[in-house]
Structure 1
Amino acid sequence: MLAHVTDTARELMIFKAQTTTIPYAREVAEHFKLAAPEGALKDFGFWASVVHFEMRFRSIEHFIEKSSVPNILELSSGYAFRGLQHCLRRPDIVYIDSDLFPVVAEKSRMLQTWGIPLPPNLHLKRIDATMAETYPALSSPVSVVNEGLLMYFDNEGKARIMNNIRAILQEHGGSWTTSDIYVRHDTDTVGSDRDKKWGTFFQKNKVNQNYFASFEAAEQFFYDNGFTVRDRYEPEFEKLSSVPMLFQYGDEAQLQALRERGRIQETWQLVPRH
């Protein structure tokens, strides 16, 4: 059941656990005893969702890998452990992995269960993205990243988050990469929501209303709130482990419908405008 926004972070692991590129996704799914619904692993709509979330994860990785900034602040990280992977590979960075308290506490328990010590350069922090006073003190440039946050807020809430991020970047330098550039679309188009739990949750939380009317409208909204787009992510389908499964279980009509729908989401790297 999806009762709270934090529940989505858990339930999305069903999709992410089907990939081989999202670190610890399968371990997280096992921790929560999550499994794909019966018949889902042969369902085109299910694999379309897997591809979407794998590509969204990859888009953030793309910009992290390109960055030379020593500090990374991930907002609303959910049950992603990208920070752990980066800190184990790169002892020269400082990674702040943040979310609301229930999520942060559960991630700490997972690490203890798995017997993985917290690297000294990884910090699990309780941060409410809308509340400036919960953000950490920084002393050098930072790459702020997030995926799956803005769609749960109306324009006023989005503006508060943007103001908090802009204040940090104006003081310390750096950039903000967000995968939350969604335009309004029919969530039933592909058909991965068999039991309608996602549709019900989205309706309850007005998610579709919180999407942008268009990519142009999104860019204008960011501009009005003090940001300009520095770069846009271009999909790297060849790096996604789930794409072959999409073609295996999709017929030509389904694949064509997916192509005709076009993009519903983009990932942008933004900087404060002067």
Structure 2
Amino acid sequence: MNRDHSSISPSAKSLLLAKSLTDIPFVADAVKLIYGNNALEHLSNRDFDEVFLKRLVHFESRYLSLDSLLFASGSLNILEISSGYSFRGLDLVLRHPTIYYLDTDLQGIIDIKKDLVERLMVEEKLNLKGKLRTEALNVLNEDAFLNAINQIPLGPISIINEGLLVYLNTEEKISLCKTIHKSLKQRGGYWITADVYVKRPALKNENNDHFSQFLEAHHVEDNKFESFEQAENFFLEQGFKLITKATSVWHQLSSLKYIDNELLKKMKEQANKIGRIRETWVLKAI
């Protein structure tokens, strides 16, 4: 349980750059702050290959699917774990005065993120209605996790994450589940995870770029579930019941503007052939 996860953090910055091409709130603004005002123009003028575009659609879908279930939960107390350079919390507390949002990740990301949030608030003249806290948290440290939970006002909580489980081996997943289960049994609420991935055959042209090398180095494919049935059984063994799954957010995707009809047809054919590789679930501690 003492494994150093700091090497995972560079993936968050890569995702930030990619997602700046979408309508996900504040991502493009953050990219300007990090890389300069010309960064988005330079990025948007590039010729994107098929693999990049598929990933862009994938990660925007993941973000929106989590949003849809979080909205449906009606939760006022939210803990986001392994949030990366997502600004979901900032977006929510701008619009909802009753939201308490604790945004967490490893220390290296949080140090940068705190600065970005402060600069965004100044430059965009943002006036927060709800409460946003941005703090470092190693989710495999049970004491630190429970201390974070205790900071949140009384009442049910939603613990949410986009990408995390694929970086954890089975032992680490079990440890995290134990801590989340204890938290939800104490407080009530749900675990909403967009990180239910299943193994799938490798596709052409996906094995030589930097992102693929990163995934291989962190054994991401090995850490995925064998099937959705196996994933459901795993969570049940850890004391969680599957309540619902997110439905398609295809109609909401801003990234589709980069996809021509030929590639769109190819993506749909591959999806029909391979099947789903990821789902977003609401889990309840039983």
By the TM > 0.5 criterion, same fold? yes
Deviation for aligned residue 1:190:
6.2
Distance 1:194 1:113, change over 3 A: farther
Deviation for aligned residue 1:112:
2.9
Is residue 21–residue 44 contact of structure 2 (8 Å, CA) maintained in 1? no
Deviation for aligned residue 1:126:
1.3
Is residue 72–residue 143 contact of structure 1 (8 Å, CA) maintained in 2? yes
Is residue 44–residue 249 contact of structure 1 (8 Å, CA) maintained in 2? no
Q: Which residue of 1 aligns with 2:77?
A: 71
Q: Which residue of 1 aligns with 2:274?
A: 261
Which of the residues 189, 198, 202 maps onto 1:183?
A: 198
Deviation for aligned residue 1:176:
0.4
Q: Which residue of 2 aligns with 1:6?
A: 9
Distance 1:111 1:204, change over 3 A: same
Deviation for aligned residue 1:132:
1.5
Question: Aligned pair 1:18/2:21, yes or no?
Answer: yes
Q: Which residue of 1 aligns with 2:210?
A: 197
Distance 1:122 1:44, change over 3 A: same
Q: Which residue of 1 aligns with 2:236?
A: 223
Which of the residues 136, 140, 149 maps onto 2:155?
A: 140
Residue type at the aligned position of 1:72: I
Q: Which residue of 1 aligns with 2:3?
A: none
Deviation for aligned residue 1:249:
5.9
Deviation for aligned residue 1:178:
0.2
Deviation for aligned residue 1:241:
1.0
Q: Which residue of 1 aligns with 2:94?
A: 88
Q: Which residue of 2 aligns with 1:235?
A: 248
| Unmatched segments (≥5 aa) in structure 2 | 1-5
Residue type at the aligned position of 1:11: S
Structure with the larger helix share: 2
Is residue 94–residue 127 contact of structure 2 (8 Å, CA) maintained in 1? no
Q: Paired residues, what number?
A: 268
Residue type at the aligned position of 1:53: F
- The answer to which of 164-173 and 25-34 deviates more is 25-34
Q: Which residue of 2 aligns with 1:131?
A: 141
Partner secondary structure for residue 92 of structure 1: coil
Give me the TM-score of the superposition, normalised by structure 1: 0.90
Q: Deviations over 1:54-99 (max 9, x none)?
A: 1100011101211222201100100000000000000111011111
Off by >6 Å, runs of 4+ in structure 1 = 34-39
Deviation for aligned residue 1:254:
5.2
Instruction: Kindly report the root-mean-square deviation, in angstroms, between the aligned alpha carbons of the 2 structures.
Output: 2.3
Deviation for aligned residue 1:199:
1.9
Residue type at the aligned position of 1:17: S
CA–CA distance in structure 2, aligned partners of residues 235 and 41 of structure 1: 28
Deviation for aligned residue 1:45:
2.5
- The answer to which of 257-266 and 68-77 deviates more is 257-266
Is residue 235–residue 241 contact of structure 2 (8 Å, CA) maintained in 1? yes
Q: Deviations over 1:196-244 (max 9, x none)?
A: 2122212211111100011111111111111010000111211111124
Give me the TM-score of the superposition, normalised by structure 2: 0.86
Distance 1:168 1:105, change over 3 A: same
CA–CA distance in structure 1, aligned partners of residues 221 and 107 of structure 2: 26
Q: Which residue of 2 aligns with 1:159?
A: 174
